[in-house]
Amino acid sequence: MDFQAHFSARLGALKDEGNYRIFADITRRRGAFPTAGCEGVGDVTVWCSNDYLGMSQHPQVVGAMIEAVEACGTGAGGTRNISGNTMHHLALEAELADLHGKEGALLFTSGYVSNWASLSTLGSQIPNVAIFSDEKNHASMIEGIRHSRADKVLWRHNDWRDLDRKLHAAGDRPKLVAFESVYSMDGDIAPLREIVEVCEAHGALSYIDEVHAVGMYGPRGGGVSEELGLAHRIDLIEGTLGKAFGVVGGYVTGSAALCDFIRSFASGFIFTTALPPAVAAAAKASIMHLKGSASERRLQRARVAELRAKLDRAGIPHMPNDSHIIPVMIGDPVKCRMISDILMRDHGIYVQPINYPTVPKGTERLRITPGPLHGSAEIDHLVNALSQLWAHCALSRAVA
């Protein structure tokens, strides 16, 4: 087989379909967010970051990382079973357990790894378990379930009645229900209360991914489960340190036995180098700040409401939801890429196109995430630029 020809042909097909991914060369500057430098363009305003609250720029977070680097150096030195725990890892896990009202927490190197390792471990180590997965769960959850080789049952997205029927049909075998709180591409929020009640009725282990919700919802940033007063009724809460908390890493929280079980059997934890102590210190500082400060969340929600209202007045179609994620629908991969390029080149606006396979074909979009550091003038500039491009590309406008 001519491997290089195969690689080139597949890449060429991606480009012809408009689904080839081009990464922008972005230089983030401390204290300037959401402004960043872009190679060949100059300064741009970033509208698609998952640094939802700008906490990567917060002086306390930056200071905690610098202080820990100066005290501990840059790396952890290996896996925790070889190099041991540091005070920073243990302190962060205690902070995360407290955030979600759980007995324990366990750190991973990313949210992807925490989902993959935890679900693959639970699925492979609980005898005869069936995993019931929302059909729109993240790729990390899908991969973890697949790797576990446990029986998988898909239930219709956010349809707790369908989940109830399928759990009932499974009989008395062990059951695990995996779902998200905020779904990252559509921005919809799951009916948590109903899902939790269904899990309890069937004795199923409940597993929620709060990656796009931690830091953003609840009086202390514990996610949608905290906002609804349901965290104590969910067995495992998974989250990330790399989005609203502004650092990097993933974690799970739950009972002491559950966290120790995953720690003891998950290859994705056992054989992976631990997070650098400085990262753990910065994450702890971010979580502690957001536990006591609601101002970032309030301002972020105000910016979301302002942008949605102005998009409506301009007739720019965006998917309705109750979250902080605003999907502006385009429905064509080539136009989606073109609009993104023109926004960057001519208007100094960076918003990455979202195409297949991240979203289904025909639902291509710009995924916009306003934050507390965006201003009204920047929102007006974005809406005016989109309005010009809507006319230029002959796209349909929303009807008020």
Q: Residue 33, CB half-sphere, CA atoms under 13 Å: how many? A: 22
Strand partners, 155: 134
User: Quick one: how far is CA 320 from the chain centroid?
Assistant: 19
Give the other-Cβ count within 10 Å of 15's Cβ.
10
Instruction: State the Cα–Cα distance between residues 397 and 390, nearest whole angstrom.
Output: 8
The CA-atom distances, in angstroms, between 284 and each of 53, 96, 308, 358, 379 are: 15, 8, 33, 31, 32
Closest residue by Cα to residue 30 from 76, 70, 69, 62: 62
Task: Give yes or no for a contact between 369 and 325, defined as CB atoms under 8 angstroms apart.
Answer: yes
Catalytic member of 175, 243, 284, 310: 243
Residue 55 is inside which H or E element, if any?
A: none
Angle at the Cα of 382 from the Cα atoms of 376 and 386, rounded to 5 degrees = 145
Closest residue by Cα to residue 56 from 85, 76, 26, 20: 26
| Bridging pattern class, strands 326-329 and 349-350 | unpaired
Task: Give yes or no for a contact between 131 and 123, defined as CB atoms under 8 angstroms apart.
Answer: yes
Task: Give yes or no for a contact between 213 and 223, defined as CB atoms under 8 angstroms apart.
Answer: yes
Burial readout 315-338 (b: 16 or more C-beta within 10 A, e: otherwise): ebbbbebebbbbbbbbebbbbbbb
Task: Give yes or no for a contact between 48 and 369, defined as CB atoms under 8 angstroms apart.
Answer: yes
Instruction: State the Cα–Cα distance between residues 332 and 335, nearest whole angstrom.
Output: 5
SS3 of residue 113 by DSSP: helix
Amino acid at 369: T
Structure-token pair, residue 165: 């029927």
Closest residue by Cα to residue 384 from 309, 304, 311: 311
Active site residue 243: yes
Instruction: State the Cα–Cα distance between residues 209 and 239, nearest whole angstrom.
Output: 6
Residues taking part in catalysis: 243
